[in-house]
């Protein structure tokens, strides 16, 4: 599958051709693809469907496009992945579910992990058989990553991990956890952290799902008791976890916004069909927010495709996406509040309620809104006293 282009025009032309081929494949496989696109109200079923879709995309080679050949991919860039996401959402896709982390964890593995380890695990992530979780927050640390206490100590053979993580996305369903652990002293703060990949099937690992207010088990708590981790699963350098974490969070706050805004767009488009004159202004405002996210996300995607560091600019994108998400779901609530408050016995209404309730917490997860504002003030605007 050729995804190359030469020069700016070549890249643009190559991407258009790529999208055309992907649309053709979707049309030719519509009967098999259609049942895998909608989001199910039952979250376990939604996860299983997401795995089946990843397997179908991988087997047809589309799921390997946009990832380096050395890591088990077929070449191309994040622009190819973004184009596929766009087309899937337009076809009625409910979103990546547990594979949202594919755009967060996988780039970090490719950049910082041992190449042999990446070649072993990335294809299993891409084909849906071994999802990943992200273990950053802790019961007593919250958003203060520099204050985390989960420890890893080297015994001469393996790293021994003890501690606990909380609000761990998709811990119930994941095979691997990309975790930040302390290998230095508490006084070293962020300089004493290391990123490590932990097999959640290892002895001593206990995952516990946390039932959210929206009825899903997306988040969880994970306890580690004398968990042995081989040394080749250090991601980056020992003591260099903060650098790897900032790279990961730039993707979580930045390029991931492309995937999320595609879902908001389709929900708003569907709701706009039922709007009345009084909701015109609200829908227009939400549409403008969506266009803003799309524009800033495209800029970040282009930078990522050129291997340019996303940096603190991604904090602005996180703020814009957060505001857009809450605006969109407020509009959906106001247009047809009964569907959000009292969902009917259907597949779509309970999912809409779940997404509305989730939108209430987006100013907290992935770094609070206040933290994003401080990042912008200090590192983008240069206000050192902020």
> Regarding predicted confidence, which is higher, 9 or 63?
63
* Rounded Cα gap, residues 112 and 154, in angstroms: 20
Per residue in 157-205, pLDDT (tens digit) is 999 999 999 999 999 999 999 999 999 887 778 789 999 999 999 999 9
Residue 118 near residue 109 (C-beta atoms within 8 A)? yes
* Angle, helix 78-90 to helix 7-28, in steps of 10 degrees: 40
Is 254-380 in the same CATH topology as 132-240?
Answer: no
The pLDDT of residue 61 is 97
The pLDDT of residue 379 is 64
- Averaged pLDDT, 246-253: 89
Question: Annotated catalytic sites, by residue?
Answer: 252
Residue 47 has pLDDT above 90, yes or no: yes
Per residue in 194-234, pLDDT (tens digit) is 999 999 999 999 999 999 888 889 999 999 999 999 999 99
The structure tokens 């049309």 sit at: 27
The pLDDT of residue 278 is 63
pTM of the complete model beyond 0.75: yes
* Rounded Cα gap, residues 140 and 164, in angstroms: 10
Residue 275 near residue 335 (C-beta atoms within 8 A)? yes
- Averaged pLDDT, 97-108: 94
Compute φ and ψ for 239, nearest 5 degrees: 85, -5
Where does the pLDDT of residue 386 fall: very low under 50, low under 70, confident under 90, or very high at 90 and above?
low
The pLDDT of residue 9 is 36
Where does the pLDDT of residue 116 fall: very low under 50, low under 70, confident under 90, or very high at 90 and above?
very high
Where does the pLDDT of residue 77 fall: very low under 50, low under 70, confident under 90, or very high at 90 and above?
very high
Pairing mode of beta strands 132-135, 159-165: unpaired
Segments making up each domain of the chain, as ranges:
7-95, 132-240, 254-380
Where does the pLDDT of residue 314 fall: very low under 50, low under 70, confident under 90, or very high at 90 and above?
confident
Assign domain 254-380 to its CATH architecture: Up-down Bundle (1.20)
Poorest-pLDDT segment among 8-17, 21-30, 325-334, 370-379: 8-17
The CATH class, in words, for 132-240 is mainly beta
Per residue in 257-281, pLDDT (tens digit) is 999 999 999 988 887 777 666 667 8
Where does the pLDDT of residue 368 fall: very low under 50, low under 70, confident under 90, or very high at 90 and above?
low
């Amino acid at each position: 599958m050729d995804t190359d282009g030469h020069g700016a025009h070549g890249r643009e032309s190559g991407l258009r051709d790529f999208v055309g081929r992907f649309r053709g494949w979707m049309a030719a496989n519509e009967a098999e693809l259609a049942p895998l696109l909608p989001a199910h109200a039952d979250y376990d079923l939604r996860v299983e469907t997401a795995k089946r879709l990843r397997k179908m995309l991988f087997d047809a080679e589309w799921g390997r496009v946009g990832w380096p050949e050395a890591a088990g991919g077929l070449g191309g860039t994040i622009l190819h992945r973004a184009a596929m996401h766009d087309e899937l959402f337009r076809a009625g896709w409910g979103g990546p579910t547990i594979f949202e982390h594919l755009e967060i964890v996988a780039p970090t593995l490719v950049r910082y992990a041992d190449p042999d380890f990446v070649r072993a695990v990335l294809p299993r992530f891409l084909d849906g058989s071994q999802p990943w979780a992200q273990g950053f927050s802790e019961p007593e640390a919250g958003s203060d990553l520099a204050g985390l206490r989960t420890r890893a100590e080297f015994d001469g053979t393996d790293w021994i991990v003890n501690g606990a993580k909380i609000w761990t996305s998709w811990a119930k369903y994941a095979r691997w956890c990309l975790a930040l652990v302390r290998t230095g002293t508490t006084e070293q703060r962020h300089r004493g952290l290391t990123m490590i990949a932990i097999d959640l099937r290892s002895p001593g690992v206990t995952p516990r799902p946390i039932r959210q207010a929206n009825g899903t088990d997306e988040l969880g708590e994970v306890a580690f008791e004398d968990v042995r981790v081989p040394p080749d699963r250090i991601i980056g350098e020992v003591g260099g976890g903060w650098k790897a974490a900032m790279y990961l969070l730039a993707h979580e706050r930045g390029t991931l916004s492309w995937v999320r805004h595609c879902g908001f767009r389709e929900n708003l488009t569907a709701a706009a069909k039922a709007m009345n004159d009084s909701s015109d202004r609200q829908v227009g405002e939400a549409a403008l927010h969506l266009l803003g996210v799309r524009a800033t996300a495209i800029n970040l995607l282009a930078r990522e495709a050129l291997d340019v560091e996303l940096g603190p600019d991604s904090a602005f994108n996180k703020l814009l996406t957060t505001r857009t998400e809450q605006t969109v779901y407020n509009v959906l609530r106001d247009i047809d509040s009964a569907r959000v408050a009292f969902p009917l016995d259907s597949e779509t209404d309970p999912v809409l309620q779940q997404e509305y309730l989730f939108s209430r917490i987006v100013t907290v997860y992935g770094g609070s809104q206040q933290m994003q504002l401080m990042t912008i003030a200090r590192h983008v605007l240069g206000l050192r006293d902020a």
